[in-house]
Amino acid sequence: MTNMPFKLSYSFEGDYRRKPEQNLSGASKKETRELLLHRAHEERQKRQEERLKLRSTVTIQSYIRSYLIRKRKKHEERLKFDECVNILNLKELLGKLLFFYNPKLDNKRLEYICEKLLQNHVEVLKHMDFDSSLNWSIRRILYLCLNGLSQQELARISLQCITVFTENTDSRTKLEIWPYLVNKGYFRQLRMFLDNSGEDNEHILTLIRRPFEYLPLISLPQQVELILSEFCNHFLCPRITPQVKSILIPYLQKCRTFPYNEIIKFLNKSQDFDATNSLFYCVLALEPTDYVPTKDSIQVLASLSVNLYQLLAAIVNISEDSDDEEMEVSSEQVCLQDYIHLLNHADRVKRIILYVDEYGSNEEVLMSIIQLCHNLLLTCKDSIRKFMLPFMLALKGTFLNKLWLSIKKHETSTLQMTGGSLGQWRDIHTAISVFCDMFTFYTETLTDSETSDTSGTFSDSDLYLMSDILKNMSLSLIEMAFPMCRASGIPSTPEILHLYNSCLSCVKMLYTLDLRKNFCKLGFWTRKKIHISQDLSRKNYLSKTIIPFYGLVSENEDEHLPPLSTIEQRSLAILQQLPFLIEFNTRVLLLRDLCRYSLGDSDNMRLHREFLNDSTVVIRRTHLYEDAFEKLSRENESDLRQKIRIQFINSVGLEEAGIDGGGIFKEFVNEVLRTSFDPNRGFFLLTNDNMLYPNPNVGLLIENFAEHYYFIGRLVGKAIFENILVDLPLAEFFLVKLLVERANAHYLKSLDPVLYRNLLYLRDYSGDVQDLGLDFTTISNDLGETKVVELKPNGSNIPVTNYNRLEYIHRLANLKLNTQIKRQCLAFREGLDSVVPLLWLRLFNHLELQVIIGGDTQEMDILDLRAHTSYGGEFTPDHPTVLLFWKIVQKFTGSQKKQLLKFVTSCSRPPLLGFKELNPPFCIQSSGTEDRMPTASTCLNLLKIPIIKEEEILRNKLVSAIEQQAGFELS
């Protein structure tokens, strides 16, 4: 015991049995039963502790004796090894080394043994087939060599030894090496060695591959799974290093013995692996060039891509930090591009699509493809255009039909979504998200034909049912996004936000499609139960940002707005996202309120502001546009919402009589806009349907054309703000571009119907498109000068084929609709937005915007006009001439009624909400005897007719006046 490194706290004299203590005092008469029991319990516990203490002492002593004996024995064996190294045979040396080996003391001895083994490897390998103990010793030596890879002095010899003794291990006894080494960290040590080597080492690559050469010979499934699991854990799942990415993966991808299909099956069956982006990248990069997709591979891609969106989140988070991390941002962006490049490999996409075409009716395959596409669509903005798989599937009507049929099976649960059942409809909401994104993209492409919707992919009844389901689902999502009780709200996740946005976008697209195709019955889209609070317009909540599942976010932190109720939040969300669900008249009144309250909350405040900012602008009638452009420029009139009065100067330089109470300004706006949009001035051109759009070549005529478009946009905004109707037939695509930045290919029909039909022909061409001799160029005619415009870089050398014809169609349509008039539309939009925010105008679709600008397109209601007409002079409602006038007007054709309205009000269309809102009111006044012609004063909406008793004479005079549009005068 003298060799013990510590002393025991008491002496041991050989008497190991403890004698019970004797208490001769007898039981105390004063001691109660409870105290007696308590004392007995404590004594038992004390005896138990003593026994445990003794047992622990014996165990510790036994361990120390064992340790000292082993240490002494190893020291003796180490001395014998050194003394008899040249006398003992190799097998004995192996046994001794394995017994005493300590990495801190015996690396030189291990190196010696490895050299001896390499010198005699042929004989050793032969004996391993029938000598199990030698086989076991070699396995343990190889394990030591594995650990030696991390030590510089042993790395070279260890690598050689492992390489030699793991080659040709096809016998049953030698095959046992692989499960043993893999279980002992074979792949872990090789991964560490590879990452630290920093160079292309052929030996290490061979060793990584080698277990897979013998995988088919291993009979036990658990051993095969062990090898695959360890490989995935140490090479595929951890963070991808440059050595793995640029050296190992290309090497294994070309290796014919690499068990890619077995790994796919194993990953699909195993539940032990997290869906890391590193594993997803490796699975993509390792796929052989001739690999044919299977159900397992599709399911693996679907499950592993679930966290791909985190790459974009990482980039965003890093970019918000300091500039010191610019290198990290760049690295992450390259990584994201690597995923996009791998996923967009043409052969991979083509093979997956062929597999879906053949096996897409299988529910498991379809759901896996849906999940994969959903994960890709979550990754980044406009991801359907970045990833070729969802892009190509979205253009396949057959796939969209399968997807829609799958959704229809769950129609009931789709319509009855609640927050509590969110987890129950996870699969169906994933399918709906993907369908909405794909169908929206599909419909935005040139999918219409001359006779059918979306090239016959969906019938009118399908589109109607789709609209009904998704409209109701959108309203349910809005209710879930803004719950009555915050405690019952749904947490915001990328999946639920994507469902919310994609579903609402698809409903908006279906509404736009219905405007073209009319597959929904009249009144289908409006919901009368939606209540719009006046506070939404009074406090201008409409311009605030409201985020689903979060609530209202004010853009101005200094502005203290009262919180909105849940009902108001939902109404605001509908106004911002789905305004067409609210009746048109309600939205018009809301726009009026927004305009009115933008000048002040109360009538007194607005009157006070008008009084302070009242200004009179002098305009020469001979230079109407020029003076208006100068006097109402942004420098001279910064806020065009304020009251402006006009003083006209006639052709001889004198001020015209009269005070502008609003009528003269109305005439001014109409005349200036009529002049501005006159094609002869050069700012606008006419389509074949006589509709107005910006001149693409205006830059060749006017240098500062952007300022002019800004001014014209402001004046149109002022007309809307003041509720002045202007007879401007704007082209459909131009109206669309006032509300959104880009018009899609559908609206090319309103610009150039011939080109539109030619592109439809190209889309449906059944032969080889390349035979048509098209390339990515087009001819532009700039004021008689013809030049070639490339639709993409080097477009003249890129032929149009069956594969890229959709791209050609969209690039050509984009050039005509967006690129050529981009600056003109941008300036016009800015001017319009400076008076009436575009956010307000987006309450309406492009057709409704035309009504807002120019009035109702429906036939004029004579009874409504008569009910809201005032009379002047000797005229009364019962005057014979007045009665005769209404009798004649009632018999007018629709065209003549429009001519009459334009003759009196300068606009051929009636007001949006009826003649009750015409300001000043429509007025009829006597102009004297019957020898005079009817005249009008458009600034006052005043019609003067002579006193005539014969119907035919009055009718002829009226028709003559309105057809010639003559007889304007200041009254």
Distance (Å, whole) CA 590 – CA 572: 12
Using alpha carbons, select from 278, 271, 170 the residue that is nearest to residue 229: 271
Q: Do the Cβ atoms of 672 and 624 come closer than 8 Å?
A: yes
Question: Residue 429: enclosing H or E segment and its boundaries?
Answer: helix 426-444
Using CA atoms, how far residue 957 sits from 131, 860, 881, 961, in Å, is: 126, 21, 13, 6
Q: How many CB atoms lie within 10 A of CB 17?
A: 4
Q: How many CB atoms lie within 10 A of CB 285?
A: 20
Scan for tokens 């994507």, then name that residue.
Answer: 498
Q: Do the Cβ atoms of 443 and 431 come closer than 8 Å?
A: no
Calculate Rg over the CA atoms of the chain: 43
Active-site residues, by number, are: 939
Q: Do the Cβ atoms of 789 and 816 come closer than 8 Å?
A: no
DSSP 3-state of 9? coil
Strand pairing class (551-553; 545-547): antiparallel
Instruction: Collect contacts of 926-933 with beta carbons under 8 A, ≥24 apart.
Output: 926/872, 926/873, 926/874, 926/875, 926/881, 933/957, 933/960, 933/961, 933/966, 933/967
Distance (Å, whole) CA 814 – CA 737: 12
Distance (Å, whole) CA 438 – CA 503: 11
Q: Which two tokens stand for residue 930?
A: 């019957």
Buried/exposed 942-971: b ≥16 CB within 10 Å, e otherwise: bbbbbbbeeeeebbebbbebbeeeebeeeb
What is the DSSP track for 798-835? -B--TTTHHHHHHHHHHIIIIITTHHHHHHHHHHHHHH
Distance (Å, whole) CA 667 – CA 55: 112
Strand partners, 780: 787
Distance (Å, whole) CA 207 – CA 51: 55
Q: Could you give the maximum distance between any two Cα atoms of the chain, in Å? A: 152
DSSP 3-state of 583? coil
Distance (Å, whole) CA 957 – CA 955: 5
Distance (Å, whole) CA 542 – CA 776: 43
Q: Which two tokens stand for residue 395?
A: 């253009």
Strand pairing class (615-620; 644-649): parallel
Using CA atoms, how far residue 809 sits from 212, 350, 439, 778, 805, in Å, is: 50, 22, 19, 11, 6
Q: Do the Cβ atoms of 555 and 564 come closer than 8 Å?
A: no
Q: Prior bond to 920 cis, omega within 30?
A: yes
Q: Do the Cβ atoms of 93 and 116 come closer than 8 Å?
A: yes
**End-to-end CA gap in the chain:** 131
Torsion-angle region of 518 (φ positive above 0: left; ψ -120 to 50: alpha; else: beta): left
Angle (CA) 696-700-703 rounded to 5° is: 105
